[in-house]
């Protein structure tokens, strides 16, 4: 795989070889995507070619099995968009593109079209049998101190500052894959690792400045591929975090925009109104809808206009390129609903055409189930909008968990909130396909949400492991990381203890963990490793009893097994009578605890420990 500098150098060297360099020689700065593959579902690829006055050149192909089907020019003469048709019978990897204009020498540019990895289109995406582990790479582990300070990148390392770089990188993740496997992790979601050449606060990754390069403070493209390969050897897939909605204001495009309509609001900051409801509101005026989708988050994040078909193609191909390059198992899509909704249908449709079994989860931060449901594949929408997105994050469920556990029980507080969230599942086209979580990088950590109560924290983790959907946990949840007294995102995304050589506490080895941390770590390991083989938890049916007196019980079952999960918020042990449990256990006689293997005879009732969440195999 050639990076932009290597490609440019190759072009110049080839021109020298053919004796064609002169004062008017074409200097191709970059071609995106930097390479492609033969054997894709779509037989065409759109190249974005950037060079001074490139639009005045004619282009041809040296290979008869690679033909130029169209060229598109914009107001900016420094861009040329060229669509190639690739014959599946193409056998050579290097195709030369010839650039010619009157009075200038022909330039031959080598472009790689490689053979696709066998079985690539049939890759299996993440599903409900998985545990997704979310990492903010800058804050997890510093495996390569040599990339901590890169002068050209601007934003410097300072571990004492919450919003500066702290030095975590891809090598640190590679080095700790064994630890992740021990937790029962089967999928890794990394906050974006692509180049964020922003002047400050770039550590979060959501202000991309180059769609085709890993940020050098994390490593490079080769190391990202190595991470994916090594993770696979540990039984772990890699999920990429993509942002089709916006870029960083230091993106290389911003110095010379490809077209006048590349950025919304004529490249002038106009804030989004965040009114996601307007997209589904039958009474909304168009101005409100436009301000939501076209408005910028902040002045440093220009909002992309995906109605421009050249930009839409660029973003779609970029997603496909990373999936194919790094052999990824899924995509997490940032700020899903803020992009143009017709583009979103096209984006997901074309990706799934290449990878029919891939999974993608969108971030639509709303606690209203109908708003989440609108965007899921299979939704019957009143405006006839068709979505192709398989999964969304279940924010309504997330918002119910901490209040359900912390609040006093009443007709409208406490566990009833969790019950109502689950009872709303009929609103979704496929509630089982949702991705469930208790916290993430943008909100208070779970342990802080429950006011540092280790018992409530354990209950929440048990819910995430046993309710329908695909579970996701945030790095550090396994050691009950918390940030009392602050809601700063820099504190929420704190350094993982043990990720730096001089850390006094080391979660990877267990060194100096306190009792809550040690016990939580032990429980998470047991819980999610048990979950791997619990088929009824993955895809089984569910039944639950309405909560009563601080107790909530539900069952997950299929033809092979039945699990009973019970939460007891009370300060004392409670024995549930057999008659109350019959709707959940049917004819089951014995409840065997999933960890201790201790059994209880259900005809004598089921005794729940105080302030507990326990799982039982019903036999």
Query: Over the stretch 500-541, which tens digit does the pLDDT of each residue have?
Result: 999 999 999 999 999 999 999 999 999 999 999 999 999 999
Q: C-alpha angle with apex 127: 235 to 517, nearest 5 degrees?
A: 65
Q: Are residues 73 and 176 in the same domain?
A: no
Q: How far apart are CA 346 and CA 387, in angstroms?
A: 9
**Co-location of 563 and 490 in the same domain:** no
Could you say which DSSP state residue 134 is in? E
Judgement on whether residues 353 and 260 belong to the same structural domain of the protein: yes
Res. 25 pLDDT band, cuts 50 70 90? confident
Q: Examine the domain organization and report whether 454 and 472 are in the same domain.
A: yes
Same domain assignment for residues 48 and 105: yes
Q: Which 8-state DSSP code applies to residue 548?
A: B
Would you say residue 4 has pLDDT above 80?
Answer: no
- Clarify whether residues 443 and 433 are in a common domain: no
Structural domain ending residue among the three candidates 304, 331, 360: 360
- What is residue 410's DSSP assignment? B
Residue 144 lies in a domain: yes
Last residue of a domain, which of 417, 437, 457?
437
**Residue 472, Cβ density class (10 Å: 0-12 exposed, 13-18 middle, ≥19 buried):** buried
Residue 462 pLDDT exceeds 50: yes
Write down the residue that tokens 């200038």 correspond to. 104
Output the pLDDT for position 15: 42
CATH code, domain with 164 = 3.20.20.80
Within a domain: 288: yes
For residue 11, what pLDDT is reported? 47
Token readout for 105 is 């020498």
Q: What is the C-alpha to C-alpha distance for residues 265 and 253, in angstroms, rounded to an integer?
A: 16
Mean residue pLDDT across the chain: 95
H-state helical runs in 355-480:
369-374, 395-406, 415-423, 446-449, 454-466
Statement to judge: residues 457 and 369 lie in one domain:
no
Q: Residue 331, SS3?
A: strand
In a domain? residue 379: yes
Task: Convert the pLDDT of each residue in 118-164 to its tens digit.
Answer: 999 999 999 999 999 999 999 999 999 999 999 999 899 999 999 99
- pLDDT tens by residue, 159-171: 999 999 999 999 9
Q: pLDDT digit string (tens) for 108-118? A: 999 999 999 99
Q: Please report whether residue 33 resides in a domain.
A: yes
Q: Please indicate, yes or no, whether residues 218 and 251 belong to a single structural domain of this protein.
A: no
Domain presence at residue 225: yes
Question: Over the stretch 474-484, which tens digit does the pLDDT of each residue have?
Answer: 999 999 999 99
- The total of structural domains in the chain comes to 5
Angle at 422 between CA 416 and CA 428, to 5 degrees: 145
**pLDDT for 170-179, tens place per residue?**
999 999 999 9
In a domain, 377, yes or no: yes
Q: Tell whether the model's pLDDT for residue 595 goes beyond 70.
A: yes
CATH number of the domain residue 564 falls in: 2.60.40.1180
Q: Which phi and psi angles does 485 have, rounded to 5°? A: 90, 0
Range of the domain at 371: 364-437
- Please check whether residue 440 is in contact with residue 478, taking contact to mean a CB–CB distance below 8 angstroms: no
Name the active-site residue from 334, 340, 394, 516: 334
pLDDT band at 24 (very low <50, low <70, confident <90, very high): low
Q: Cα Rg for the chain, rounded, in angstroms?
A: 26
Give me the torsion for CA of 101, 106, 107, 111, rounded to 10°: 90
587 found inside a domain: yes
- Under 8 Å CB-to-CB from 38, ≥6 apart: which residues? 86, 87, 88, 90, 113, 114, 115, 116
Among 365, 163, 214, smallest CA distance to 276 is for 365
Are 100 and 48 within one domain? yes
Contact 169, 147 (CB under 8 A): yes
Mind listing the pLDDT tens digit for each residue in 85-99?
A: 999 999 999 999 999
According to the model, what pLDDT value does residue 5 have?
Answer: 41
pTM over 0.75: yes
- As a three-state string, the secondary structure of 217-268 is CCCCHHHHHHHHHHHHHCCCEEEEEECCCECCCCCHHHHCCCCCCCEHHHHC
In a domain, 208, yes or no: yes
Reply yes or no on whether the pLDDT at 57 is more than 50.
yes
Instruction: Give the dihedral sign, CA 343/344/345/346.
Output: positive
Q: Are strands 574-576 and 606-608 parallel, antiparallel or unpaired?
A: antiparallel
On whether the CB atoms of residues 94 and 112 are closer than 8 A, the answer is: yes
Q: Are 155 and 165 in contact, with CB atoms under 8 Å apart?
A: yes
State whether 310 and 387 are in the same domain: no
Q: What is the CATH number of the domain that holds 36?
A: 2.60.40.10
Catalytic residue check, 363: yes
Catalytic site includes residue 516: no
Rounded to whole angstroms, the Cα distance separating 599 from 72 reads: 71
Domain end point (choices 334, 360, 386): 360
Q: Write out the two tokens for 231.
A: 């993770």
- Predicted local confidence at residue 102, as pLDDT: 87
Q: Which two tokens stand for residue 120?
A: 């690539």
For the segment 452-459, the average pLDDT, to the nearest whole number, is: 98
**Shared-domain flag, residues 473 and 494:** yes
Does residue 580 sit in the same domain as residue 602? yes
| Residue scoring higher pLDDT (288 or 20) | 288
Q: Does residue 9 carry a pLDDT above 50?
A: no
Residue 439 exposed, middle or buried by CB count within 10 Å (0-12, 13-18, 19+):
buried
Assess whether pLDDT exceeds 50 at residue 12.
Answer: no
Q: What is the pLDDT of residue 22?
A: 43
Tell me what pLDDT residue 277 has.
97
Q: Which two tokens stand for residue 218?
A: 């994390």
């Amino acid at each position: 795989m050639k990076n932009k500098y290597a490609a440019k150098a190759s072009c110049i060297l080839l021109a020298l070889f053919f004796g064609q360099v002169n004062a008017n020689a074409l200097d191709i700065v970059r071609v995106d995507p930097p390479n492609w593959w033969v054997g894709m579902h779509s037989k065409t690829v759109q190249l974005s070619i950037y060079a001074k006055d490139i639009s005045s050149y004619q282009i041809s192909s040296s290979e008869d099995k690679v033909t130029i089907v169209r060229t598109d020019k914009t107001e900016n003469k420094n861009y040329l968009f060229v669509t190639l048709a690739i014959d599946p019978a193409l056998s050579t990897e290097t195709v030369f593109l010839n650039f010619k204009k009157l009075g200038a020498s022909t330039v031959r540019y080598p472009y790689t079209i490689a053979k696709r990895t066998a079985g690539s289109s049939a890759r299996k995406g993440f599903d409900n049998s998985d545990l997704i582990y979310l990492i903010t790479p800058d804050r997890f582990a510093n495996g390569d101190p040599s990339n901590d300070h890169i002068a050209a990148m601007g934003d410097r390392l300072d571990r004492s500052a919450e919003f500066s770089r702290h030095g975590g990188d891809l090598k640190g993740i590679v080095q700790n894959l064994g630890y992740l496997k021990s937790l029962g992790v089967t999928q890794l979601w990394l906050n974006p690792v692509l180049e964020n050449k922003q002047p400050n606060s770039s550590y979060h990754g959501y202000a991309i400045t180059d769609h085709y390069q890993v940020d050098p403070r994390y490593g490079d493209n080769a190391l990202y591929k190595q991470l994916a390969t090594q993770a696979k050897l540990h039984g772990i897939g890699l999920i990429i975090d993509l942002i089709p909605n916006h870029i960083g204001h230091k993106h290389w495009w911003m110095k010379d925009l490809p077209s006048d309509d590349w950025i919304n609001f004529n490249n002038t900051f106009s804030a989004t109104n965040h009114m996601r409801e307007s997209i589904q509101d039958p009474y909304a005026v168009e101005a409100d809808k436009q301000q939501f989708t076209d408005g910028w988050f902040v002045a440093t994040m220009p909002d992309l206009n995906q109605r421009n078909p050249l930009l839409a193609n660029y973003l779609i191909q970029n997603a496909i390129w990373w999936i194919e390059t790094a052999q990824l198992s899924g995509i997490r899509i940032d700020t899903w609903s803020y992009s143009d909704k017709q583009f979103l249908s096209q984006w997901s449709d074309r990706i799934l055409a290449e990878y029919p079994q891939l999974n993608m989860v969108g971030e639509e931060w709303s606690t209203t189930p109908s708003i989440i449901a609108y965007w899921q594949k299979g939704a019957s929408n009143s405006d006839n909008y068709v979505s192709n997105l398989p999964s969304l994050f279940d924010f309504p469920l997330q918002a119910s968990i901490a209040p359900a556990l912390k609040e006093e029980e009443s007709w409208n507080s406490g566990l009833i909130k969790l019950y109502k969230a689950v009872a709303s599942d009929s609103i979704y086209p496929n509630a089982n396909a949702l991705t469930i979580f208790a916290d993430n990088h943008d909100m208070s950590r779970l342990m802080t949400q429950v006011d540092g109560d280790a018992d409530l924290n354990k209950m929440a983790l048990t819910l995430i492991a046993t309710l329908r959907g695909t579970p996701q946990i945030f790095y550090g949840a396994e050691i009950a990381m918390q940030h009392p007294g602050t809601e700063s995102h820099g504190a929420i995304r704190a350094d993982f203890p043990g990720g730096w050589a001089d850390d006094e506490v080391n979660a990877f080895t267990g060194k100096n963990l306190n009792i809550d941390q040690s016990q939580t770590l032990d429980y998470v390991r047991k819980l999610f490793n048990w979950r791997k083989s619990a088929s009824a938890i993955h895809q089984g049916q569910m039944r639950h009893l309405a909560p009563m007196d601080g107790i909530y019980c539900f069952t997950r079952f299929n033809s092979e097994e039945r699990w009973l999960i019970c939460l007891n918020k009370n300060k004392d042990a409670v024995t549930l009578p057999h008659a109350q449990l019959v709707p959940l256990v049917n004819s089951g006689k014995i409840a065997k605890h999933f960890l201790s293997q201790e059994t209880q005879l259900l005809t004598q009732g089921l005794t729940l420990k105080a302030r507990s969440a326990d799982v039982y195999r019903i036999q």
